[in-house]
Amino acid sequence: MTETTALAIETHGLRKTYHSRSGRRIVGVEGLDLAVPVGGVHGFLGPNGSGKTTTIRMLLGLVRADSGSMEIFGEAIPKQLPSVVRRVGAIVEQPRFFPSFSGRKNLDLLARAIGAPSARVGAVLEEVGLADRAKDSFKGYSLGMKQRLAIAATLLKDPDLLIFDEPTNGLDPAGIREIRETMRALADGGKTVLVSSHVLAEVQQVADTVSIIARGRLLASGPVSELVSQRGGGPVRVGVRDPGRAALVLRDAGISADVGPDGFITATGVTDPAQITWLLGSKGMYVHELLAQRVDLESVFLELTEGHGPGGVSLEPPAGAAEGEEVSGR
């Protein structure tokens, strides 16, 4: 992010630890510097257990950070949270509604409880695409519809920032598409959407910018297009009559080339696939297949998080703890 970019969320050196029942200290978030620009969809990505939910809970004042600083729209959190909380809507757990009540009645009750204008109920049902099902009982909604009603509930106070923690968990492809389209529409309408997820293909379709973390640490951040382009071209599948000789030619030119069991070459480290055609053609070898595999957000994510291990948390044993002591808890 540039220095002039207005930020909806900013953290510096954020750290949070927990203690397991056996006395070990579990590091959930470690020195996290996060910058979420105002406007658009920001993907907050990381393996399960990498610190995404812990970070969100700290931002919402649900848990206290050990150290570091946090700001939402320039207001220090948690000190100034009461002054900014009305600008924030969040879904961090499965929301609870009355099963036998209609979607509209559930929102009517909630609007009265939080002091939101009753006119907002119809407006938010329109925003999430549930206006035509507003009179149906909640128990008859699909999982995707239930999640959209939860989003509608967060919109009642017309927040500027929406925070969704794994909003597509448990949804079928149709439900995932509905949530994705809803998030995109909200961002296009001027809101800032922070979505935590480990489903990379879905995030790439909706996010403008992303932050990737593992073991509670930031690995990369920025526009999706820039993070992908920085990784250069992906592997290239090459079909040629004499793959062994062709691979030698490519290696001599500084291109990594391996011949697979199917007789095709996989070439990496190529900035322009046309270079392969030219190199082999100059040696009298003509390519009959050339397929450049696209670099996507998932491949960038896997490259960055490789070696960080499943779960993504690190452990700090207490003084005198025995090596190999069993750890339980979060």
Cβ atoms of 266 and 258 within 8 Å: the answer is yes
pLDDT digits (tens, 9 = 90+) for 296-305: 777 777 777 7
Per-chain mean pLDDT for the chain: 86
Residue 320 has a pLDDT of 38
Average pLDDT of span 212-217: 90
Cβ within 8 Å of residue 202, ≥6 positions away:
168, 176, 180
Q: Per the structure block, which two tokens stand in for 66?
A: 């050990």
**CA 237 from centre of chain:** 30
pLDDT band at 6 (very low <50, low <70, confident <90, very high): very high
Average pLDDT of span 252-278: 88
Cβ within 8 Å of residue 275, ≥6 positions away:
253, 255
Q: Per the structure block, which two tokens stand in for 229?
A: 């382009």
CA 243 to CA 251: how far, in whole Å?
Answer: 12
Q: Per the structure block, which two tokens stand in for 183?
A: 């998030």
Domains of the chain, start order: 7-229 (3.40.50.300), 236-292 (3.30.70.100)
Cβ atoms of 119 and 111 within 8 Å: the answer is no
| DSSP-derived secondary structure for 259-277 | E-TTS-EEEES-S-THHHH
User: CA 231, 226, 192, 102 torsion: positive or negative?
Assistant: negative
DSSP-assigned letter for residue 66:
S
CA 209 to CA 44: how far, in whole Å?
Answer: 9
Residue 231 has a pLDDT of 60
DSSP-assigned letter for residue 198:
S
pLDDT band at 225 (very low <50, low <70, confident <90, very high): confident
Assign residue 238 a region (left: φ > 0; alpha: ψ between -120 and 50; beta: otherwise).
Answer: beta
Cβ atoms of 287 and 277 within 8 Å: the answer is yes
CA 79 to CA 308: how far, in whole Å?
Answer: 33
The DSSP H or E segment spanning 10 is strand 7-19
Task: Give the range among 67-71, 78-82, 120-124, 231-235 with minimum mean pLDDT.
Answer: 231-235
Is the whole-model pTM more than 0.85?
no
Q: Any bridge partners for residue 213, and if so which?
A: 218
Average pLDDT of span 263-270: 86
Average pLDDT of span 265-275: 83
User: CA 195, 200, 205, 210 torsion: positive or negative?
Assistant: positive
Phi, psi (deg, nearest 5) at residue 25: -95, 125
Residue 294 has a pLDDT of 66
DSSP-assigned letter for residue 137:
B
pLDDT digits (tens, 9 = 90+) for 141-173: 999 999 999 999 999 999 999 999 999 888 888
CA 37 to CA 193: how far, in whole Å?
Answer: 10
